[in-house]
Structure formats: C-alpha cells, structure tokens
Amino acid sequence: MGQVNANGPAESILARIRLALDALDPAQRKVARFFLENSDVIGDLPIATVARETGVSAGTVVRTCADLGCHGYREMRILIARDNAIRSLLEQRGHARADGEAGSEGERIIARIRGMLDMLRELPDCLDAGAFNRALEMIRDARGIVIVASGLSSGVAANLESRLLRYGRLVTFVRDPLGQDISASLLKPGDLIIAISGSGENRHTVHAVEVATANGADALAVTSFANSSLATRATTTLVASTPATTFNDELIDTSRLPLDIVIESLTGQLGRGEEDPGVISQISEHLDR
C-alpha cells in the first residue's frame, strides 16, 4: 500500500495508527495492533521482539512503520513513547489539580528527593563490572578522546571532560552537532569517542558514533537503555538505569543523576594513582585567589 498521509505538527502517532488500521495488509495490521495494545512498553522493545510476538519478519515491521509515515522502527517507538509521555504528564497535572496540590512546594521537592534515593538504591545491582573494566581500558589506551552529548546530557559530558583533563587525558567535549560530525570524522584507530545520551536515541549523538567507528575508532556509550540505537553501535556500553526505568520515564523526568553517578565512579577509579601533583598545585592556586 502507499504511505499514509502523516501531515500535521505533533500529530498523535497512536491516532494515526488507528485511522490507518483498515488500510494495512493483514501482516501489517498485526504489527499495528501490537503497537496499539503495547504502547506503554513499545519504547523499550527491540524490533526482534515485535517481530517475534506478531509472527512476522523484521522487514514487515519496518515496512509497517514506513507506511505509517515513520522513518523506520526507531522513529515509531520514539513517537509512541512521546504520545504516552504527554498523556502521563497531562494525567499527573489532572491528579495534582484534583488533589489541590497537596503539600507545599518545598515538601514536594523533599518527596521527589526521597523517590530519587529509592531509585538509586537499585542502581548498583544493575551495573556491569565487565563493562566498567572495558571502559577503563579504552580510556587508558586511547590516543585522543572526543566526547559528544546534547541537551541535558551535556552537563554530564562537561563533568567527564573536566575530570579526564585533570588526569592528563587528551580530551575534547563537542556540543555543536556539526562540530560533533567533523570531530568524529577526524578520529582514527587508537582514538576513542565517548557518547552520552540518556535515551540513547539522540540522532546527532548516534550519527557521530557511526562516523567515528566507520573510521576505526572505538566508541564508549553511556546511556540508560541497553537496547538503544546508541548502545547497539558502540564498542562498549555503560548502562546506568534501574529495573523501573522506562523510555517514557526518560521523556518525562529526564534525570541524568544515574549517568552522573556512573561517570563520577568511573573517573574516580581512573584517577587512583594517576593524580598529577602539578594539577593539584594549579587547583590550589585558583582557590587562593
């Protein structure tokens, strides 16, 4: 069938799927119904799972996404997650109004801190010691390092750059998407690109990794999702998330605290025995001024 008309800003992808359902062929209809019935979790499912659960090929899943106006399954799952995130956000606002915004803003801040601490208690059980070992080896062996990140992940990347510089690494953090592509294209075997993205789906970050690895450089990903586009393209991935973390959560809360903790711990280990006395002297001079 021909591609369904998908015009309109911020159009609901779920509404689009419902409207197009009868125009799809039987195999595609299975895929579309699966998207509708599993919209709450589709953001966390790899394409192989969708194909297996619907009894079709991965190619049919991709073709269904294309006929629904998406550039592949990756965009489909992001748009479905966006729809769910918007719905959840509106529901939260509705509940807040119905409850009369119980408690002061200060009390709600403290409640959020408690929730974050509860979430972080599960983080160590989800981390991979082998991945940390590989990450340390890659950083120590790298001739030059380029860090790429966008949006809220930029703060994590800036912290990583500062710490690696402190330990004498030749490293540059590039924020601008065009600059990321140019820097990635200059990397060679022996160099390392470190890509940081909570969702693992930022297209600029993913593309920079693709460019760097095509030139023979290694890629270290730091993300919240093991099955993300970024993770599947990296040489090694540090996954900083808990069992309760979903793609919908990433769109609503966008917390980078787990990524920060992983970076702090990684560089803390890297710095053991590698601190330069000259750097300590420079830091102390700035403190004295």
Average pLDDT of the chain? 85
Give domain limits for the chain: 11-90, 126-286
Which residues are bridge partners to 147 per DSSP?
173, 194
Is beta strand 218-223 parallel, antiparallel or unpaired with respect to 192-197? parallel
Tell me the C-alpha distance between 220 and 212, whole Å. 11
pLDDT in tens, 25-66: 999 999 999 999 998 888 888 899 999 999 999 999 999 999
Polymer length in residues for the chain: 289
What does the alpha-carbon distance between residue 101 and residue 212 come to, in Å, rounded to a whole number?
A: 49
- Is the pLDDT score of 243 beyond 60? yes
For domain 11-90, say whether CATH 1.10.10.10 is its number.
Answer: yes
pLDDT band at 140 (very low <50, low <70, confident <90, very high): very high
Helix (H, G, I), strand (E, B) or coil at 35: helix
Q: Which CATH superfamily is domain 126-286 in?
A: Glucose-6-phosphate isomerase like protein; domain 1 (3.40.50.10490)
